[in-house]
Amino acid sequence: MLIERIYDEDLAQASYFIGCQAKGEALVVDPRRDIAVYRDLAAANGMKIVAVTETHIHADFLSGTRELAAATGATAYVSGEGGADWQYGFEAERLNDNDEIALGNITVKALHTPGHTPEHLSFLITDGAFADKPGYLLSGDFVFSGDLGRPDLLDEAAGGVDTRFEGAKQLFASLRDKFLTLPDHVQVHPGHGAGSACGKALGAIPSSTVGYERLYAWWGPYLAANDEQGFIDELLDGQPDAHAYFARMKRENREGPAVMGERAPLAELDNDDVAKDLAADKAIFVDTRPNAQVHEGTVTGSVNIPAGKSTASFGAWVVNPETDEAPLVLLAPDQAAAMEMWDHLVRVGIDKVAGYVTGFEGLPISVPRLIQPEELEGFDAAMVLDVRNKTEHAAGHIPGSYQLSGGRVMWHLDELPAEGTIVSYCQSGVRNSVAASALRRAGYDVVELDGSYAAWAARQQASETVPAN
């Protein structure tokens, strides 16, 4: 048996390629929409992808289940659990509790493990060529290394009302009745790692075991004592802000993401044509550089989506494909870099990209306004905006600042002053540059705090340690 973990650092998301070497068949679990990595794995191992499935209706990324099934002819499987309100809206085979997928010598059994979502499945895998008992669990967003999937996302992203309490009860029951009934040696392969907003304290270790989690995870003592209420209280306390785009992901994943098919390579665009499109509001310019370079000058009205680790999530913070009709123009050194950027964007459903440019010649340029920490006290700001998570704000913030996380700010413009200057900050400046650029494009007067909270806090500390004369 072959198990390959395909990890997206951008979204801290793991998909899995399960293959039977004897029969040359493979199953992919929780695929992303840029599917080349799975087809390449299949080709490298002489396998055919015959099945594709997912653990649940995802909120943080757009599923590639339909995309991969359409490209390979594989059978698509989705959960049939969760009740009438949580059924998928597209054609696929339904899996219910204890249903199995046969993959040569491998048996993949679906376990209904609700809590994170009502329809959530985990997949228990038996390698029949080696053992007659299961040895692996693909736990999706049920059990992470050291943590559990949060049960409040339906409230935060799907319009639910107090569903978190029922979800927390379901998680407790799923742990008690499903997870902890498995042998301690069973390897646990979760759907996310550290940095994901699908839990509050995910570990960076890529896998665990049932026994290790039983002994050392924070929830173990609550289950051992059958303390459901203590478990619920601990689980719900301190969950991070849910990004606003999660609502769109939930809806699109439930209805069925659009199948893109083969995407033609992005073309390098003529700067003069781009300038005309920008002037006519027929394009959205994306500055993909780090914030320090953006602060030296950028295309007027552009959004800053830095290339690299968080491209997809930052992109979904500031571009809403349901309302932003204009295509994106990417700043990229070459076609390969532009295509890689596009791959990240389609993972969150941002498909409409016109092409790329390699420089700013002929384009309108402006320099984002900055303010130094020592200037803040005397600055006439209509609002000092903290775009960090609420947990970061609670741990320490600039006095009088208003917290609205970067992943939510563009969906809550009614909370911002209609007039006057907004001073914005995050922890170091990266998230702030993304959010501030989107606010400027929306017409707000925004000044970024140079160095953000880290610089302000360092100055405060320095002033407190200066000895009095």
Among the candidates 319, 350, 366, a domain finishes at: 366
Average pLDDT over residues 381-393: 96
Q: Is residue 236 part of a domain?
A: yes
Mean pLDDT of 343-365: 98
For residue 266, is it within any domain? no
List the structure tokens of 309. Answer: 């680790």
Q: Express each pLDDT in 169-193 by its tens digit.
A: 999 999 999 999 999 999 999 999 9
What are the tokens at 323?
């309302």
| 468, pLDDT greater than 60 | no
Q: State whether 322 and 419 are in the same domain.
A: no
* Judgement on whether residues 337 and 391 belong to the same structural domain of the protein: no
Q: Are residues 362 and 318 part of one domain? A: yes
The average pLDDT across 275-300 equals: 98
Residue 169: the pLDDT is 98
User: Domain for residue 453, yes or no?
Assistant: yes
C-alpha 299/C-alpha 402 separation (Å) is: 28
What whole-number distance in Å separates Cα of residue 213 and Cα of residue 195?
Answer: 19
Per the structure, the complete domain to which residue 359 belongs is given by 271-366
pLDDT digits (tens, 9 = 90+) for 189-242: 999 998 887 877 788 899 999 999 999 999 999 999 999 999 999 999 988 889
Find the Cα–Cα–Cα–Cα dihedral 375, 390, 345, 329, rounded to 10°. -20
Query: For all residues of the chain together, what is the average pLDDT?
Result: 95
Please indicate, yes or no, if residue 301 is contained in any of the structural domains: yes
Residues 228 and 305 in one domain: no
- Stated pTM of the model: 0.94
pLDDT band of residue 380 (cuts 50, 70, 90) is very high
> What total of structural domains would you count in the chain?
3
Considering the domain architecture, whether residues 351 and 379 belong to the same structural domain is answered as no
Query: Do 140 and 202 lie in a common domain?
Result: yes
Domain-ending residue, one of 366, 394, 411: 366
> How does residue 100 score in pLDDT terms, banded at 50, 70 and 90?
very high
Q: Using CA atoms, how far apart are residues 309 and 123, in angstroms rounded to an integer? A: 28
Question: Do the domain assignments include residue 424?
Answer: yes
- Percentage of the chain modeled with pLDDT above 90: 91
| Secondary structure in 3-state letters for 272-337 | HHHHHHHHCCCCEEEECCCHHHHCCCEECCCEECCCCCCHHHHHHHHCCCCCCCCCEEEECCCHHH
Residue 162: band (very low, low, confident or very high) from pLDDT cuts 50, 70, 90: confident
Average pLDDT over residues 348-354: 98
Q: Cβ atoms within 10 A of the Cβ of 327, count? A: 15
- Which CATH number covers residue 397? 3.40.250.10
Tell me, yes or no, whether 261 lies in a domain: no
pLDDT of residue 107: 97
Tokens of 56: 């649940």
**pLDDT at residue 259 in the model:** 97
pLDDT, residue 469, reads: 53
Please tell me whether residues 335 and 416 are part of one structural domain: no
Whether 426 contacts 452, CB under 8 Å:
yes
pLDDT of residue 202: 80
Helix, strand, or coil (residue 430): helix
Residue 28 counted as domain residue: yes
Give me the sheet containing 208-209, strands edge to edge: 100-103, 106-112, 121-127, 136-140, 187-190, 208-209
Q: Using the 3D structure, point to which of 343, 366, 389 is the last residue of a domain.
A: 366
| Distance from C-alpha of 410 to C-alpha of 423, rounded to nearest angstrom | 16
Please check whether residue 71 is in contact with residue 52, taking contact to mean a CB–CB distance below 8 angstroms: no
CATH of the domain at 189: 3.60.15.10
Rounded to whole angstroms, the Cα distance separating 116 from 110 reads 16
- pLDDT band at residue 156 using 50, 70 and 90 as cut-offs: confident
Residue 306 shares a structural domain with residue 344: yes
Whether 160 and 194 map to the same domain: the answer is: yes
Contact 321, 349 (CB under 8 A): yes
Amino acid 451 reads G
240 and 385 co-located in one domain: no
pLDDT, tens digit, 9 for 90 and up, residues 433-457: 999 999 999 999 999 999 999 999 9
Please report which confidence band the pLDDT of residue 299 belongs to, taking 50, 70 and 90 as the band edges: very high
In a domain, 260, yes or no: no
Q: Please say whether the beta carbons of 438 and 406 come within 8 A.
A: no
Range 279-301 average pLDDT: 98
Structure-block tokens of residue 51 = 């099945």
**Are 205 and 224 contained in the same domain?**
yes
| Helix, strand, or coil (residue 118) | coil
Indicate if 240 and 277 belong to the same structural domain.
Answer: no
